[in-house]
Amino acid sequence: MSEYRNIKISDYSYNLPEERIAKYPLAERDSSNLLVWKNGTIKKDGFRNIGDYLPEDSILVFNNTRVIHARLFFWKETGAKIEVFCLEPVQPNDHQLAFQQTEKVVWKCMVGHAKKWKTGDLIREIEINGKAVVLKAKKTAQENNSSLIEFSWTNGFSFAEIIQKSGVLPIPPYLDRDTEPADEVTYQTVYAKTDGSVAAPTAGLHFTENVLAQLNKKNIVLRELTLHVGAGTFQPVKSETINGHNMHHEQVIISKSFIEELLANTKKIIAVGTTSVRSLESLYWLGLKLGKLKNLSQRLEIEQWEPYKNNEQINTQQSLKNILDYLEKTNRNTLQFSTQIIIVPGYRFKLINGMITNFHQPQSTLLLLIGAFLGNDWKKVYDFALSNNFRFLSYGDSNLYLK
């Protein structure tokens, strides 16, 4: 395991000129470039032709999470501006339940200009459907770099309505600009359904209804899961080796029927985005864990280094059977768990045979994941992209990797 922990993050870097970062999306989502890597060969095409490269018997797995207005701003009487960035719900600790609350919730948040907010509540007045609402934020605890914030409000609106009206859609910090009205549409996938993310699953931003229809005609199976993307996706690796980096927890939601379909099928599984990759791979390790679980009420989670310190192996089918057995015993139709998994070079993929993804930041955990799938070819891929005018990061161009 130490060989994985000692991977130097500096070995996963490349020179990314500022002008290659796409600050805005293209006018048409599916007009972006597509880099195709298949068993070591690389070519350039357009994204709307992606169906030409996908095997007809493949399952394409999308993350249907929706980005919320997670950035809330308050002003103190002194005029100081305080930003409260909602990360994940704590009370209740389920996104759907939290958004349904009509009086108060507690969220784990990051606070900007925290030194200017030492005591007292933050108060802000907003208007929803012609009714005045008083929104309060109260700091209840500190957890490392984040705070637990209790939000309370008047007039009985749901918390979903509160943040939709009072919050701002967060866009990646490396875009180095404010959120604009157009981002409300362009920074959501066309299939976004389930509120909860603070960052978009950006590999999916290229898909249009037209592309999805073309894939359906090719008998490519389109399926969805939910992983609520956390702000940690932008967290830079500051340690010299990956061992010093602490991954963030993210909530995964997968239907029982989809897991049954995975078990029944030997089709190629292609993940749309690194969030889908992490969800599917976490599924295997969860199944391994559930095979030995005695307390069915135990919290389900996959820890960061769990795959690397577990020498026991079972086949993928048995892992999925274990999950279905657990769902039967607990009378559930949906699997919900937390994952902190980190995928680094040397990791052996359990479920996926391919992935669609964007280009990622130098020295990031996402680039390590790409290195795990491509091996040293990740350098060839990124050199090719830099030499052939590909656009980088969230609003940039797309990649398809197939084995």
Please report the pLDDT score of residue 316 as a whole number.
Answer: 93
**Poorest-pLDDT segment among 90-104, 167-181, 284-298, 381-395:** 284-298
β-pairing verdict for 221-227 and 250-255: antiparallel
In the predicted model, is pLDDT for residue 235 greater than 80?
A: no
The answer to whether position 87 is within a domain reads yes
Please report the pLDDT score of residue 295 as a whole number.
Answer: 82
Q: In what order do the strands lie in the sheet with 81-91?
A: 122-128, 131-143, 146-153, 104-112, 81-91, 71-75, 167-168
- 393 and 258 share a domain? yes
Task: For residues 352-368, give the mean pLDDT.
Answer: 96
- 34 and 145 share a domain? no
Please report the pLDDT score of residue 160 as a whole number.
Answer: 95
Q: Are 389 and 18 in contact (CB under 8 A)?
A: no
Residues 6+ apart with CB under 8 A from 185: none
In the predicted model, is pLDDT for residue 190 greater than 70?
A: yes
The answer to whether position 177 is within a domain reads no
In the predicted model, is pLDDT for residue 342 greater than 90?
A: yes
Last residue of a domain, one of 119, 134, 168: 168
Q: What is the CATH number of the domain that holds 388?
A: 3.40.1780.10
- 131 and 190 share a domain? no
- 339 and 233 share a domain? yes
The answer to whether position 174 is within a domain reads no
Tell me which H or E stretch contains 354: strand 354-358
Please report the pLDDT score of residue 144 as a whole number.
Answer: 77
Please report the pLDDT score of residue 117 as a whole number.
Answer: 84
CA distance 39 to 197: 33
Residues 6+ apart with CB under 8 A from 68: 86, 163, 164, 167, 169, 195, 196, 197, 198
The answer to whether position 59 is within a domain reads yes
Task: For residues 20-31, give the mean pLDDT.
Answer: 97
Give the pLDDT confidence of 344-353 residue by residue, as tens digits.
999 999 999 9
In the predicted model, is pLDDT for residue 34 greater than 90?
A: yes
- 231 and 372 share a domain? yes
**Model pTM score:** 0.93
- 253 and 345 share a domain? yes
Q: Are 188 and 219 in contact (CB under 8 A)?
A: no
Domain that holds residue 362: 2-66+185-402
CA distance 298 to 282: 17
- 103 and 203 share a domain? no
Please report the pLDDT score of residue 292 as a whole number.
Answer: 87
Please report the pLDDT score of residue 266 as a whole number.
Answer: 66
Please report the pLDDT score of residue 180 as a whole number.
Answer: 97
- 316 and 197 share a domain? yes
Give the pLDDT confidence of 81-95 residue by residue, as tens digits.
899 999 999 999 899
Last residue of a domain, one of 138, 168, 198: 168
Q: How far is CA 144 from CA 111, 115, 149, 151, 231, in A?
A: 12, 15, 14, 20, 15
Task: For residues 173-200, give the mean pLDDT.
Answer: 95
Picking from 348, 343, 347, 340, the residue whose alpha carbon sits closest to that of residue 304 is 340
In the chain, the number of structural domains is 2
The answer to whether position 285 is within a domain reads yes
The answer to whether position 176 is within a domain reads no
In the predicted model, is pLDDT for residue 33 greater than 70?
A: yes
The answer to whether position 178 is within a domain reads no
Q: How confident is the model at residue 192 (pLDDT cuts 50, 70, 90)?
A: very high
Helix residue spans in 335-394 (DSSP H): 365-374, 377-387
Task: For residues 104-131, give the mean pLDDT.
Answer: 89
Please report the pLDDT score of residue 159 as a whole number.
Answer: 96
Q: Are 82 and 149 in contact (CB under 8 A)?
A: no
Share of the chain above pLDDT 70, in %: 99
Task: For residues 198-206, give the mean pLDDT.
Answer: 96
- 361 and 213 share a domain? yes
Give the pLDDT confidence of 249-298 residue by residue, as tens digits.
899 999 999 999 999 886 799 999 999 999 999 999 999 999 988 888 88
- 280 and 343 share a domain? yes
The answer to whether position 15 is within a domain reads yes
Q: How confident is the model at residue 1 (pLDDT cuts 50, 70, 90)?
A: low
In the predicted model, is pLDDT for residue 24 greater than 70?
A: yes
In the predicted model, is pLDDT for residue 129 greater than 70?
A: yes
Q: What is the DSSP letter of 328?
A: H
Q: What is the CA radius of gyration of the chain?
A: 21
Last residue of a domain, one of 136, 168, 200: 168
- 198 and 335 share a domain? yes
In the predicted model, is pLDDT for residue 187 greater than 70?
A: yes
In the predicted model, is pLDDT for residue 178 greater than 80?
A: yes
CA distance 14 to 288: 36
Write the DSSP string, 244-288.
G--PPPEEEEEEHHHHHHHHH--PPEEEESHHHHHHHHHHHHHHH
β-pairing verdict for 167-168 and 59-63: unpaired
- 127 and 142 share a domain? yes
Please report the pLDDT score of residue 321 as a whole number.
Answer: 96
